[in-house]
Structure 1
Amino acid sequence: MATTTTTSTVSPGPARPLDDRVPKNSLTTNRGGFWFVLPFLVVYALFTIIPVLYGLGMSFFDVSLAGKPAQFVGVDNYAELLGDSQVWRTLGHTLLFTVMSTIPLVVVALGMALLVQSGVRGQWLWRFSFFAPFLLPVATVVLIWQWLFQNDLGFINNTLAQWGLPTVGWLTDPNVALLSTVIITVWWTVGFNFLLYLSALQAIPESIYEAAAIDGAGPFRRLVSMTLPLLSRTTGLVVILQVLASLKVFDQIYILWAGGTGGPEGAAAPILQYVYDSGFVNYRLGYASAISYFFFLLIIAVSLGQLWLTNRRSANRKGQ
Structure 2
Amino acid sequence: MTTTSPTARRSAPPAAPPRRTTSMRRRTPQAWLFLAPFVLFYAAFMIGPTIWMVIASFFNTSTVRSGLGSFAGLDNYLEMFSRDDFWSSLWHTLQFTLYTVPPLVVLSFVLAVLTNRAARGQWFFRLAFFLPFILPSATISLIWVFVFTPLNGLWSLPGRLLGLEPGNGVLSDPRTAMIGIAIATIWWTIGFNFVLYLAGLQEIPRQLYEAAAVDGASAWQQIRSVTIPLLARTTALVILLQIIASLKIFDQVYLMTSGGPGNSTQVALGLITDTAFTDNRIGAASAASVLLFLIIIVIAIVQQLISRAGAKREEAS
Moved more, 202-211 or 283-292: 202-211
- How many residue pairs end up in the alignment? 297
Counterparts of 2:247 and 2:194, CA distance in 1 = 20
Residue matched to 1:109: 108
Residue matched to 1:304: 301
From 277, 280, 287, the counterpart of 1:280: 277
SS in 1 for 2:192: helix
Counterparts of 1:317 and 1:71, CA distance in 2 = 55
Counterparts of 2:231 and 2:31, CA distance in 1 = 38
Task: Give the AA of the match of 2:313.
Answer: N
Deviations 1:168-226 (A, max 9, x none): 52111000000000000000000011111111112111111111111111112222222
From 261, 264, 270, the counterpart of 1:264: 261
1:136 deviates by 0.6
SS in 2 for 1:147: helix
Q: Is 1:50 matched with 2:48?
A: yes
Counterparts of 1:153 and 1:125, CA distance in 2 = 30
How does 1:80-119 map onto structure 2 within 5 Å? 80-119=79-118
Residue matched to 2:60: 62
Counterparts of 2:20 and 2:100, CA distance in 1 = 55
**Structure whose CA Rg is larger:** 1
How does 1:74-153 map onto structure 2 within 5 Å? 74-153=73-152
Deviations 1:44-100 (A, max 9, x none): 222122211111111001112222771101111011111111110000000110011
Residue matched to 2:8: none
How does 1:103-252 map onto structure 2 within 5 Å? 103-163=102-162, 167-168=166-167, 169-252=169-252
Task: Give the AA of the match of 1:62.
Answer: N
Task: Give the AA of the match of 2:98.
Answer: V
Deviations 1:210-252 (A, max 9, x none): 1111111111222222222222221111111100110000001
Identity %: 40
SS in 2 for 1:86: helix
Moved more, 86-95 or 68-77: 68-77
Counterparts of 2:143 and 2:27, CA distance in 1 = 53
Task: Give the AA of the match of 1:154.
Answer: G
TM-score by length of 1: 0.87
1:40 deviates by 2.8
Residue matched to 1:3: none
TM-score by length of 2: 0.88
Counterparts of 1:303 and 1:129, CA distance in 2 = 31
1:27 deviates by 6.1
Residue matched to 1:313: 310
SS in 1 for 2:151: coil
Counterparts of 1:122 and 1:24, CA distance in 2 = 51
1:166 deviates by 6.7
Shift in CA distance, 26/199, structure 1 to aligned 2, threshold 3 Å? closer
Q: Which runs of 5+ in 2 are unaligned?
A: 1-18
Counterparts of 1:244 and 1:146, CA distance in 2 = 25
Q: Which runs of 5+ in 1 are unaligned?
A: 1-20
Superposed CA RMSD? 2.0
Task: Give the AA of the match of 1:104.
Answer: P
